[in-house]
Amino acid sequence: GEPVFTQKGKNHAVFELPSRFFDERYQPIGAEIQNRFSDDAGERIPVRDIQPPNLNHIGFEQLGKQDNFTLFIPKHRKLASALSDIFLKARDIDHLQSLAVYARDRVNPQLFNYALSVALLHRPDTKDLDLPLYIESFPGKFLDSRSFVQAREEATVVPQGSRRPIVIPRDYTGSDLDPEHRLWYFREDLGINLHHWHWHLVYPFEASDINIVRKDRRGELFYYMHQQIIARYNFERFSNHLSRVVPLSNIRAPIPEGYFSKLDSLVASRAWPGRISNATLSDINRRADEIQLNLSTLERWRDRFLDAIAQMAVTTSSGQRIVLDEVKGIDILGDMMESSILNPNPDYYGDLHNMLHMVLSYQHDPDHRHLESFSVIGESSVAMRDPVFYRLHQYVDDIFQQFMEKLTPYTAQQLTYPGITITGLQIQTENVKTNVLNTFWRQSDINLAKGMDFVPRGDIFARVTHLQHSPYTINIQVNNSSGASRLGMVRVFMAPKYDERGQQFSFREYRRFMIEMDKFVANLRPGQNTLKRRSIQSTLTIPYERTFRNLDARPTGSGEDAYNFCGCGWPQHMLIPKGTPQGLPCVLFVMISDYEQDRINQDLAGTCNDAAIFCGIRDRFYPDKRTMGFPFDRVNRRGAETLQTFLTPNMGIADISIVFKDYIPSSIPLN
């Protein structure tokens, strides 16, 4: 089939609806409406007439057209499951198209977008289609609300082609009075928020079909991806002279970090609620959302969780005991914590992480007396903007780490790769001193046209400022004395050299500050080898063009790229933390392990596999047998209390520094 969900050509396409698809009110004038909208259409898409599905249990009665939607609310999850189920069960693509067209104006638009995205991602016959670019559908979740007023004005007055981009101010959500505001470029980054939204779309925690949830090591990946976000956030904090994140260990204590997103829900023309400094949480009782939850319940779930870790075993709903071992333990705990429908005992261990998001998101209106909706921490595409996100996930990670710290440390022998020795390691940025990385600002454009209703139509761009680094190459010198060719799994990490007080880290602490940069397979010939690896090759990231879709270079509407399916992945422009003007001292770490022991045998042809570290590979196993984060997943063996003493011959470190320059270069080499 034809890619029915993408807009083709310069002009917009129009669906030709069967008359019974029109709302009752419009049915008598259906043909007239159809003609009015088809006049200037570049393409008419016939929609097969089907018996309309019953949407009463999903429609506006359940979730209003202008209401905000989030998976953190159990009721919303049920609606999403029910609607994606309808889409998933469609007999073929034409049937799916009819169902989608029919549902489009009868269910909440965010709910519709989510449910259709899940279906398109998981149906065998739609896997190769583009998803609508989320930021273009819902630009209000990513950009300053004032920019839309300006965009409407520009679009009304200026014809397409002569329109100027709306420049979004560099930091508009707070002032220097709030030290947390220094992290705006990370928390409010488009690519980071898109990655987080994509991740949760690819790894939903609930679905009517359990196989959509049961993806390889998804609980472990929930733990690891968020652990790495915290490690990266702390790296950025050190770059801005801030101490590490304080975990939200006590949900009764006031929360010093307030946040006001300045985002607008375009659908409802409502601002997202904010949270004042030193706010306190309370029990939630909101009948309209079908939520009643006490803080003491969260504390009880936490105690049971910690108890399971103390016993290194969980009890299932049917009373069975599952031991938490080194292989599956963290995966089970991840599903239990989030929690997903794979939680072995939801009544007992509860839904700790999701409900923490929810309690925080209703801080301003716990009993719904003000008829206010949830704040940004309650929705995955905007949650990372709020400083409290990091306090929540630091707390969650502290719990996971209680488990990781109980596992037996690796021996030196387990970490060694016999015959393989790293003899040298450098990082090279073009025209810059060896072992120095550069960061600076860059401006990129986003098209607002699809997500806004205005006449006359046509492209209108918002211009955002974001962090960017110069491309670099990592050079690794490796000696292979084994006498034969070997395959190595090269694992690249980086961390700040010192803690916030300028002290050296102990290994036990340091392992949690390591950010994974890249992981790849290398062929090691007998004798001396030099491995060269470029920053844009990183298997952590998706290319810049996939975040911004290279809008300056792409002709309007030529949406033939398969970018969005592979949309999950850390954005390349945020690979390197910001650093400091003086140069932030850091340590680069490389380990080469034996690929023959780490490999997963599977066919990777034709899949999105370029950002596997955080996102896995679609329809495949996670492509590394080791626990995620290896070799920093466990505490050190005795005698290896520092990073230096932890090293085995197949590991290497280099002192590097990250220099930030506060300017926007006029031209940027990207490769």
User: Which positions touch ligand CUO (CB under 6 A)?
Assistant: 196, 200, 226, 353, 357, 380, 383, 393
Q: Which residue's CB is nearer to ligand CUO, number 208 or number 381?
A: 381
Nearest distance from residue 227's CB to ligand CUO, in Å?
11
Q: Which of 301-325 are b and which e, b meaning 16 or more Cβ less than 10 Å from the residue's Cβ?
A: bbebbeebbeeeebbeeeeeeeebe
Q: Which residue's CB is nearer to ligand CUO, number 378 or number 543?
A: 378
Nearest distance from residue 230's CB to ligand CUO, in Å?
11
d(CA 407, CA 219): 18
Nearest to 294 by CA among 391, 375, 362, 396: 362
Residue whose token pair is 């001193």: 433
Quickly list DSSP for 239-303: HTT-PPPPP---TTS-B---B----EETTTTEEPP-B-TTB----EEEGGGTEEE-HHHHHHHHH
Residue 139: is the preceding peptide bond cis (ω within 30°)? no
Q: Is 338 a known active-site residue?
A: yes
d(CA 634, CA 190): 33
SS3 (DSSP) at 54: coil
Cβ-closest residue to ligand CUO? 383
d(CA 392, CA 14): 45
Q: Which residue's CB is nearer to ligand CUO, number 103 or number 230?
A: 230
Q: Which residue's CB is nearer to ligand CUO, number 284 or number 355?
A: 355
Nearest distance from residue 226's CB to ligand CUO, in Å?
6
| 367 strand-pairing partners | none
Q: Which residue's CB is nearer to ligand CUO, number 353 or number 466?
A: 353
Nearest distance from residue 357's CB to ligand CUO, in Å?
6
Nearest distance from residue 200's CB to ligand CUO, in Å?
6
Nearest distance from residue 302's CB to ligand CUO, in Å?
15
Helix (H) or strand (E) holding 335: helix 329-338
The angle subtended at Cα 345 by Cα 339 and Cα 350, nearest 5°, is: 45
Catalytic residue among 154, 338, 379, 516, which? 338
List strand residue ranges (DSSP E) for 34-153, in order. 43-46
| 441 strand-pairing partners | 467
Nearest distance from residue 209's CB to ligand CUO, in Å?
21
Q: Which residue's CB is nearer to ligand CUO, number 103 or number 202?
A: 202
| 234 strand-pairing partners | none
Under 8 Å between Cβ of 568 and 614: yes
Nearest distance from residue 72's CB to ligand CUO, in Å?
8
SS3 (DSSP) at 655: strand
d(CA 167, CA 464): 6
Under 8 Å between Cβ of 293 and 74: no
Q: Which residue's CB is nearer to ligand CUO, number 226 or number 442?
A: 226
Q: Torsion angle of alpha carbons 140, 143, 6, 545, nearest 10°?
A: -160
Q: Torsion angle of alpha carbons 268, 270, 271, 272, nearest 10°?
A: -60
Nearest to 399 by CA among 614, 244, 226: 226
Q: Which residue's CB is nearer to ligand CUO, number 168 or number 377?
A: 377
Q: Is 647 exposed, middle or buried (0-12, 13-18, 19+ CB in 10 A)?
A: middle
Q: Which residue's CB is nearer to ligand CUO, number 373 or number 421?
A: 373
Under 8 Å between Cβ of 404 and 330: yes
Nearest distance from residue 225's CB to ligand CUO, in Å?
8
Active site members: 338
